[in-house]
Structure formats: structure tokens, C-alpha cells
Structure 1
Amino acid sequence: MKYKNIVFDYGNVIAKFDGLAILRSFCESQEDADLLRDIVYRQWPDLDRGTLEYDDYLQSTLELTPPRLQDTVRTFFHDWPKEVTHLSNTLAFIKELNERQIPIYLLSNAPTYFADYMADSELLKSFNGVIFSGPIKMAKPDLDIYEYFFKHFNLNPEECFFIDDLPQNIEGAKNAGMDGIVFTGNIAEVKKQIEF
């Protein structure tokens, strides 16, 4: 294989993350989901970056929410991680990498709330190292999170390959010295790139 370590993003690589679809699962109608989308997700990148406290964000979101939908928002903030569905083709690939004893890592933007929710998951126990952005108050595609990642796990960037669904995050990885691919759901293309 061309690389020693494979690095995964989480959302839309390991698991599907469609913000509107997740929100829809908590709403009685598409209209309500459409109404809440801009309210609920308006500062989500700040949650990912860890610069906004989750409970504070919930309170400010409730202040912007019509009273009839405030219970819906509370439930969403509590339960949304349960609605993230895993991608079977990626899980199978992770299993293959584990079987071949190829080190795998996770580097993902996500709120601290999600990091805490995932802390004891069996899936993440199969990774050699996990970094979520919220707890460390850094986020992709900024250079500092990649440098932190390499230093924290004592990795050589040139020996790592990154799989992320966003072009700017792959660009950030390449700026930090790590090759990668913009993931579109095609595991066969990933295997081709890494010569698996």
C-alpha cells in the first residue's frame, strides 16, 4: 500500500450527515424543518470549532424559535446524534483495514456534544486515534488542526492519506503535507488512490 496510515473524516465519510434530513426526523412537517434549518444551523461551525458552548447555543436558538416548535428544538439538540446513519461500504473498508492491521485515524469537525456522545462507541474503538474539533477548539480546514493531529499521534504527514467529503478540507490537508481524496461514496476509488 502507498501509505502507512489512513485518516477518515466522520460526516459523509463514515456516516451520512444531512442536516435538513436529520432535522426533518424531529419535525411534524417539511415546512417546520425548513423553518428551523436556518435557526438551528446558523452558527453550527462555531460549535464545531468549540468557540460556542452547546447549552448557550441551545438557549439562543430557543429565543429565535416559535414557541410551538421549542420542544422540537430541545429534543433535536438532545437526540440528533442518534439520527446519524453509518455508511455500510465505509464500515466494510474500515474492517478490511483493521484486518490488515493498517493504522486508521479519525479527524473530524464536530461539536464537543457529539464527541462526548461517541466517546464509548464500539466503532471508534477500532481506530488508533480520534480527534474531534470541538474539544480542542480548532477546526478544518485551518492548518493548526492538522499540525496538532500529526504532533499528537506522532505521525509523518507524508505517510498519511486523508478521506474527507469537503474539497477545502482536503486542500487544508495537502497544505499540511498530507495527501487525500474528496470522498463521494466511492470506496473503490479510495482503494485505487492508496493502492490497497
Structure 2
Amino acid sequence: MKKTTILIDMYGVILEESKGFFIPYTFNAFDQSEYDRLTRQFREENLFTKASNGELTSDEFLTRLGFDDPRFHMVNYIDHCLTLDKGFLPFAEKYASLYDFVLLSNDVSEWSAYITEHHGLDRFFSHKIVSGDVKCRKPDRKIYETALSVTGKKPEECFFVDNSVKNLLAAAELDIEPILFNRDHEEYDGTVVTSFPELAALLDQTNKEC
């Protein structure tokens, strides 16, 4: 079946940082006397995971960590600690007219919305499936099923580009075609690209074969 849709990850694909630097950013913002509390909030209370699952808003999450101005720190972190891959815009300018682009991202709802607006990316996406909005995270099967339901696509119509092997394996179980954007040098037996020019070449080759 002809591919019509590209499901694409944000962190480690569109953004260069695969995991981000929010935890170090947070520790740098507080005195060392607060480190035990912060460690507990991240590791035991799982506040970051709860926020990206939609259980906490960005303001609630950052306020519980102790930030006095949560909006400022959301913006400051995203603006100064996350980097848009310079290859994405040229890639999207060409291929968003040939495929439906669907963002499939584990993220805090407000963070994802700010990132796509800040970098002018909203124009490329027909849909945005964000864990904080749909209350589940990759590699949970439910988030892929949600993406298919919302877009009205069959699995066989979709590529899925992600930097996590476990996320790709979960998608493959639904017959979505996985492509590893291998920024982190993971071992993977399937299709691998390391840049947007390589992804473009792969799509062009696939179209020729069809």
C-alpha cells in the first residue's frame, strides 16, 4: 500500500536533543540544599512523567518543583536548551506537501505547543498527537492506535520516524513501517537514517519503487 503519512517524533528527531536537559536545568536553578528534594520529585514522585502524561499542567509541574515563575522557565528552557535540527525545515518544506505529517511526541502539552509555535512548525502538521493531550506515552500501544484513529489512516499507509528502538518496535506490531532516526547510535536491524537528507533519499527511493 502506498505510504501517505509520516508519523514523526519531536525529541531526538526534529529537535537534536533526544532527552533534553531539563533535569540539569532544574538542578542548576536551585541551591544544592534542594538537590535531595528534587531527586525525590523526579525519581520517586515521577513528576516529569506525570506532566507528560497530562496528569499535571506545565504550571503545576514547574510550581511543584519550586519555580516561582513557571511560564518564564518553560520558555527559557525551550529557547536556550533545545535545538531545532537545521535539516528539518528544508525537509518539511518539500515533503509536507507529499505526505501528511503527524507529530507523535511524548511531551508536556504546553511545552509541545510552544515548541511548534516558536519554530513555526504548526503549518507542517495535519495532526499533533502529544502524550500530555492524549494521556498516554510511547511505547504504549494506545498512543499509536489514537494516531491512526485521529488521522483516519491505516497502519500500512504510515511511516513512523523515531529515535527510540522500543518505540519503533511497538509501532511495528501494528504494521506501521518504522524508521530509526539514529542520533543516539542505537543498534537496530531495521531501516536506519541519521539525518533529514538521508530520510529524504529514503522516501525518494521508496516512491521510485512504487
What is the TM-score of this pair, normalised by structure 1? Answer: 0.76
Q: Percent same amino acid at aligned positions? A: 26
CA drift at 1:133: 1.1
Question: Judging changes above 3 Å, is the alpha-carbon distance between structure 1 residues 41 and 79 closer, same or farther for their aligned structure 2 residues?
Answer: farther
Gap regions ≥5 residues in structure 1: 63-69
Partners of 1:103 and 1:81 in 2: CA distance: 26
Are the equivalent residues in 1 in contact too, given 2:139–2:167 (CA < 8 A)? Answer: yes
Query: Does residue 1:81 correspond to 2:40, yes or no?
Result: no
Q: Which residue in 2 is equivalent to 1:96?
A: 94
Q: Which residue in 2 is equivalent to 1:111?
A: 108
Q: Which structure's residues are more often helix, by fraction?
A: 1
Question: Judging changes above 3 Å, is the alpha-carbon distance between structure 1 residues 39 and 77 closer, same or farther for their aligned structure 2 residues?
Answer: farther
Secondary structure of 1:19's aligned partner: coil
Secondary structure of 1:16's aligned partner: coil
Structure with the bigger RCO (C-alpha within 8 Å, sep 6+) is 1
CA shift digits 1:63-86 (9 cap, x unpaired): xxxxxxx66988534532223210
CA shift digits 1:102-145 (9 cap, x unpaired): 22111111101213424645212122221111012111110111
Query: Does residue 1:46 correspond to 2:47, yes or no?
Result: no
Partners of 1:161 and 1:97 in 2: CA distance: 13
* Alignment coverage as a number of residue pairs: 185
Q: Which residue in 2 is equivalent to 1:157?
A: 155
CA drift at 1:21: 7.4
Q: Which residue in 2 is equivalent to 1:13?
A: 13
Are the equivalent residues in 2 in contact too, given 1:9–1:106 (CA < 8 A)? Answer: yes
Question: Judging changes above 3 Å, is the alpha-carbon distance between structure 1 residues 72 and 19 closer, same or farther for their aligned structure 2 residues?
Answer: farther
Question: Judging changes above 3 Å, is the alpha-carbon distance between structure 1 residues 78 and 89 closer, same or farther for their aligned structure 2 residues?
Answer: closer
Compute the RMSD of aligned alpha carbons. 3.3
CA shift digits 1:36-76 (9 cap, x unpaired): 984675422221111234333323322xxxxxxx6698853
Partners of 1:108 and 1:21 in 2: CA distance: 16
Gap regions ≥5 residues in structure 2: 183-193
Amino acid of the structure 2 residue aligned with 1:182: L
> 1:32-43, aligned counterparts within 5 Å?
38=39, 41-42=42-43, 43=46
What is the TM-score of this pair, normalised by structure 2? Answer: 0.72
Are the equivalent residues in 2 in contact too, given 1:106–1:129 (CA < 8 A)? Answer: yes
